[in-house]
A and B are shown apart, each in its own frame.
Chain A
Amino acid sequence: MNLDAAKAPGQCVHEEWPYEPRFKRVNGWRMHYIDEGSGDPVVLLHGNPAWGFLYRKFIKPLTSARRRVIVPDMIGFGLSEKPVREQAHSLDGHIANLTSLLRQLDIRNATMVCHDWGGPTGLGFALSNPDRVRALVIMSTWAWPLPPAEFHKRIFPWRMMHAPLVGPYLLGRHNALAGRGMYLSVVDRKRFRDEAQSAYENILPDPAARLLTWTWPRWIPLDDTARGLERFRSLERELKKSKFPTLLVWGREDEVFDHKTFATRFKELLPHAEGPELVTGRHFLQEDSGVEIAEKINNFLDRIDARHP
């Protein structure tokens, strides 16, 4: 296992990540993405504190099924530029970053695969660019203004972890979210530690590079004074009206965005959605069930193709 993200932007060596790094400027930032295969595009969107590597087990099954796979690293994560000021980040800004990338690539007929903060950003893109989107796959995320889970209202450990000064210390100096935090949020922890954990930790080599790991949690609305509240309200409102074919995939063991609360809520907003299809997984279900989820996406898209040949 060898990953040295600190060498230079875009240089990353890992046997499970052989993909050519590509870059576009979005809103003045340098965004990294990979673009593999050909066919209708599937856009795989990660959240906090991950990067495209989270989807490494999806790429071959999807490209083998003649699909084009685009995996961006959110500005602030992975091999993308990492602004060092909290004020550089906003939910609208991240939606606009994704929009810039996908418009530059002139993406059409896309399937948006949304996880964690890839949910509000990916859904934000889909709902404001419906002419470019074909379908949605939604996993372990939310798209409404109220606190997403009881977990997020508790001081221990969630609010304490990213509290003023505590966040820069614990998640900055000690990289707690990319290391221990992800480790606690998978089912097969030994395999994760042996095969993947360092790839998430090493891509955020310095405290300043980890800023978004404590900034994103501060964008989760906890009351009606929260930043981003209006965007979440509009996501909920527009999602309810949308008719995108949708597949819900959830981790059976996900105790933060538990499927009984969150997948059920998405089903209320999107009664036509398929699923939830439950797989082995906590919040980072891609780590435990990557290939299985990729096959579910292929089958879902095959069913759409069959309905609309």
Chain B
Amino acid sequence: MIGIEVIDKPRLDGKRKALVLAEDRVGHYPEFREFFVRRFSLETNGLSRPAYVRAPSGMIYSLVFVGRSGEPFPDGIEIYALADALEPLSEGDVDTDLWALLSWMIDGIGGEWKVEDLDATGRLYQLPFLSDRG
């Protein structure tokens, strides 16, 4: 159960964008960049709008794609939690939401990239929320 839902642009009234994860080089393995291009039609949409996903906690995240001269687009990705404007984030929820997002990404990339390898890597490095998943 990955639990990521791609959604249309939500209402942003009363929200703030809280940066929770940044990647400077999404094309380090080209299939990662190709996944985002394919999934969000970035060849057509380019920089015109971010993508939005709803994660298992119910929090909505925006994915902002970053371009860099001389590099295929996107070169980077920034992930923002759309939090209530004046409320702190639940770091535990963000942690599990991001893990769900990574699982969704790996599942979408496919091929030699497998969610079970991501889970095994997370268990090897003892992510606390994976310890009771066997």
Asked if A169 is at the interface of the complex by the 8 Å CB criterion, the answer is yes
Q: Closest residue to B20 on the A side, CB-wise?
A: A173
Inside 8 A of B125's CB, which chain A residues have their CB? Answer: 157, 161, 170, 174, 176, 180-181
Inter-chain CA distance A156–B120, complex, in Å, is 8
Asked if B5 is at the interface of the complex by the 8 Å CB criterion, the answer is no
Interface size bracket, B side: 20 to 34
- Residue of A86, A159, A169, A176 contacting most chain B CB atoms (<10 Å): A169
Asked if B22 is at the interface of the complex by the 8 Å CB criterion, the answer is yes
Q: Are A157 and B124 in contact (CB under 8 A)?
A: yes
Q: Are A87 and B24 in contact (CB under 8 A)?
A: yes
Inside 8 A of B23's CB, which chain A residues have their CB? Answer: 164-165, 167-168
Interface of B is mostly: helix
Inside 8 A of B22's CB, which chain A residues have their CB? Answer: 168
Interface of A is mostly: helix
Inter-chain CA distance A167–B28, complex, in Å, is 11
Q: Are A165 and B113 in contact (CB under 8 A)?
A: no
Inter-chain CA distance A94–B8, complex, in Å, is 44
Which A129-182 residues have C-beta < 8 A from chain B? 155-157, 159-161, 163-170, 172-174, 176, 180-181
Q: Are A165 and B121 in contact (CB under 8 A)?
A: no
Q: How far is the CB of B22 from chain A (nearest CB, A)?
A: 6
Asked if A267 is at the interface of the complex by the 8 Å CB criterion, the answer is no
Q: Contacting A156 at CB < 8 Å: which of B33, B98, B105, B121? A: B121
Inter-chain CA distance A193–B26, complex, in Å, is 34
Q: Are A155 and B99 in contact (CB under 8 A)?
A: no
Inside 8 A of A172's CB, which chain B residues have their CB? Answer: 21
Inter-chain CA distance A165–B118, complex, in Å, is 12
Inter-chain CA distance A160–B124, complex, in Å, is 12
Q: Are A160 and B26 in contact (CB under 8 A)?
A: no
Q: Closest residue to A180 on the B side, CB-wise?
A: B125
Which B85-103 residues have C-beta < 8 A from chain A? 95, 98-99, 101-102
Asked if B43 is at the interface of the complex by the 8 Å CB criterion, the answer is no
Instruction: From known contacts A85-B24, A86-B24, infer whether A160 and B105 are also in contact, taking CB-CB under 8 Å.
Output: no
Q: Are B21 and A164 in contact (CB under 8 A)?
A: no
Q: Are A164 and B118 in contact (CB under 8 A)?
A: no
Q: How far is the CB of B71 from chain A (nearest CB, A)?
A: 10
Asked if B126 is at the interface of the complex by the 8 Å CB criterion, the answer is yes
Asked if B80 is at the interface of the complex by the 8 Å CB criterion, the answer is no
Q: Are B121 and A160 in contact (CB under 8 A)?
A: yes
Q: Are B32 and A163 in contact (CB under 8 A)?
A: yes
Asked if A68 is at the interface of the complex by the 8 Å CB criterion, the answer is no
Which B31-57 residues have C-beta < 8 A from chain A? 32-33
Q: How far is the CB of B91 from chain A (nearest CB, A)?
A: 9
Q: Closest residue to A159 on the B side, CB-wise?
A: B29
Asked if A108 is at the interface of the complex by the 8 Å CB criterion, the answer is no
Q: How far is the CB of A24 from chain B (nearest CB, A)?
A: 27
Q: Are B120 and A165 in contact (CB under 8 A)?
A: no
Inter-chain CA distance A172–B20, complex, in Å, is 11
Inside 8 A of B102's CB, which chain A residues have their CB? Answer: 165-166, 169
Asked if B82 is at the interface of the complex by the 8 Å CB criterion, the answer is no
Inter-chain CA distance A173–B127, complex, in Å, is 10
List 23 interface pairs A-B (beta carbons < 8 Å), by A numbering: A85-B24, A86-B24, A155-B117, A156-B117, A156-B120, A156-B121, A157-B121, A157-B124, A157-B125, A160-B118, A161-B125, A164-B27, A164-B33, A164-B77, A165-B32, A166-B118, A168-B23, A170-B122, A173-B21, A173-B98, A180-B124, A218-B25, A218-B28
| Other 13 A-B pairs with CB < 8 A, given A85-B24, A165-B26 | A86-B25, A155-B112, A155-B113, A156-B121, A161-B121, A163-B32, A164-B27, A164-B28, A164-B32, A164-B33, A165-B32, A180-B125, A184-B124
The 8 A-B pairs at the shortest CB distance, nearest first, are namely A86-B24, A176-B125, A156-B117, A164-B32, A160-B121, A164-B26, A157-B121, A165-B23
- Chain B residues in contact with chain A, CB under 8 A? 21-29, 32-33, 77, 79, 95, 98-99, 101-102, 105-106, 112-114, 117-118, 120-122, 124-127
- Chain A residues in contact with chain B, CB under 8 A? 85-87, 155-157, 159-161, 163-170, 172-174, 176, 180-181, 184, 218
